[in-house]
Amino acid sequence: MTAPLQDLHYHVDEDPGLRPDARSAAPEDFPVAAADVAVTSGAGGAQDAPARAFTSDEAAARFYLDQLLQRDDRPAVRALLEPERPEYVPGLVAQGEQDLRPLRTRQVRFAQTHGDVPVFGARAVVELTDARELVSVTAQLEAVDGVDPVESLSRTEALQRLAAYVGADLPPEAATTGRLHYYKSDGYDGGGDAGGGSWHLVWLFTDVPAAPPGDADPGDPDARLGHGLGPRPVPARYAYLVDAHDGEILFSYSAVPTALPTPAKCAGTDEDDDRQTFLGQLVGPGGPACRLDDPLRSVRTYDLRFADIDSDPPLPPTPVESPTGDFGDTNRAAVSAHLNASRVQDFYKVVLQRDGIDDQGMALVSQVNVTAASMEQPPTLLNAFWYQRKMWYGQIRRNGRLVSLSRYLDVIAHELTHGVIESTSDLVYATQSGALNESFADCAGVIINNWYRAPDRHDVGTWDWEIGPGLRSDGRPLRDFSDPSRTGHPQHMDQFRRLRPGEQPGPANDNGWVHVNSNIHNKAVHNLLTVSGPTGRVFTVEDVAVLTYLGMARLAPLATFTQALQSVLDVARTYFGGHPDKQAKLAAVGDAYAAVGITLATSMPQLAQV
């Protein structure tokens, strides 16, 4: 199983070498190699006093990361530096940059390679100001050693070992996803935070259409819950790491968790019998008057007309249409899906300043009236999910008619946030990182649902904390954000549910109990939302939304609960940098997590000061 990599953590707020009110660190605050920086010139070309500048955010991020690694005394970290040039870190590949608009900073994300081969789960995130000064670094990196870099098994041979392991014939095209990686494994205890470990050269196969061996319908009701509704009506898709020398299956995890047109003001009745207004698109003469295609938000809604997802139905040629601007009460499922998807888009755009699910303005496509005969007798399907970069909605019978799951804004926000996670931290969907994947999706679901539906969005005392109300067979919600014990879930690390020694994550154990243990982190965030001080709530709703969203976005794929706390604290240090009560707010974050047993590891290595 997976062993943790070496943590590297820095925040300017914690640097004793800087003044207490410093908001960033300049190159001059580090030992500087002349080859890494250039001298700027003033306006008109006149040379000013020496000042250092970088040609790009990536160059600045590499420089600061190099300097911090030189401070570190751990052999496994020092070995990352090039012996002949200790100021240069080889093997870091830039993955992209992101504007952290609520913090008015930017971050650069790197993946680690060794000899041009990726290191599984190794990431570094460097946060910079607009002036390219350093704010923070979060990284999980480690030098690779003790492993033969030349594979003994070919990609095809490794796939044959995998086919024998899963007990199924795998299509030849599955081999095309295979890529060599370095992977650190350990004597795993089921919690995702064991120490030690050994390095392996592995073939990583992604999107394999077969689940790990085991009971697909386990007796444990927690495993049967899946992502909280019914079984996912999509083919099993898993990623596998196969030792490239002896063929052992070392790790597996789920690959499925996630001129402008003229807008038109439309109306219609949703699944809750409420009259709603929303934006669609006018279409040309001779056609229908309005289509569920919001050109301002890039939200489009289609009707699959109860097509079976097992047959891989094509997207209909056009979104749902109406001969007038009033969709009436005959398109309830589509109206609810369109309205709720627009609400999620608006929240991410306005409150979190993110440009859509992928932060690149991608269209948000929803499909209603979905069935899956292999899972449930049509026309019902107890599921709503993010898959293939689209939303899919099933339906249930209520009061004599079919009611679409598109009515549940909390479920929709949860599922769409899987798409946000997929394009940021890409948290591996197993054990602790998988539980964080689920929890951060739950956080968005609860916050966005109450942002639009609570009597007072700013007063959490008026909030509804249920996730998927009434969707369990006994009438209970799927989860209760305020009281996980109400649905039989843990709310403290003392109750953390671990895998058995040697047990692989899979469908029989909810991929390492991701929907069970997620409730521990949920309760920590509930504490953040509700904590009070002498003058009222310590954090606004917007505060917590920013802390959890940006805290998630800077994590590495194999993050643990402790690393999530550290990440949220780092965001808070920047976000509340100029606030007179900053220290009290940081303490409140720590207390909210400590109340559920999540604390910073006292043995976490500290950077040596120079």
Would you call 492 a catalytic residue per the annotation?
no
3-state secondary structure of 391: strand
Cα–Cα distance measured from residue 360 to residue 428, given in angstroms and rounded to the nearest whole number: 22
Whether 562 and 598 have beta carbons less than 8 Å apart is answered as yes
Cβ-in-10-Å burial (0-12, 13-18, 19+) of 470 comes to: middle
Whether 347 and 451 have beta carbons less than 8 Å apart is answered as yes
127, 133, 415, 438: the active-site residue: 415
Cα–Cα distance measured from residue 319 to residue 365, given in angstroms and rounded to the nearest whole number: 9
Whether 178 and 203 have beta carbons less than 8 Å apart is answered as yes
Q: Report the run of H or E that residue 128 belongs to, with start and end.
A: strand 117-128
Unique residue bearing structure tokens 């689940």: 211
489, 515, 521, 526: the active-site residue: 515
Bridge partner list, 85: 82
3-state secondary structure of 524: helix
Cα–Cα distance measured from residue 329 to residue 273, given in angstroms and rounded to the nearest whole number: 8
Strands 532-533 and 536-537, sheet pairing: antiparallel
3-state secondary structure of 30: coil
Cα–Cα distance measured from residue 319 to residue 369, given in angstroms and rounded to the nearest whole number: 13
Whether 478 and 468 have beta carbons less than 8 Å apart is answered as yes
Whether 222 and 510 have beta carbons less than 8 Å apart is answered as yes
Residues 6+ apart with CB under 8 A from 314: none
Sign of CA dihedral 319, 322, 326, 330: negative
The C-alpha torsion from 588 through 593 and 594 to 599, rounded to 10°, is -110
Cα–Cα distance measured from residue 444 to residue 541, given in angstroms and rounded to the nearest whole number: 11
Closest CA to 25 of 80, 99, 139, 105: 105
Would you call 526 a catalytic residue per the annotation?
no
Neighbours of 208 (CB within 10 A): 25
Residues marked active site are found at 415, 515
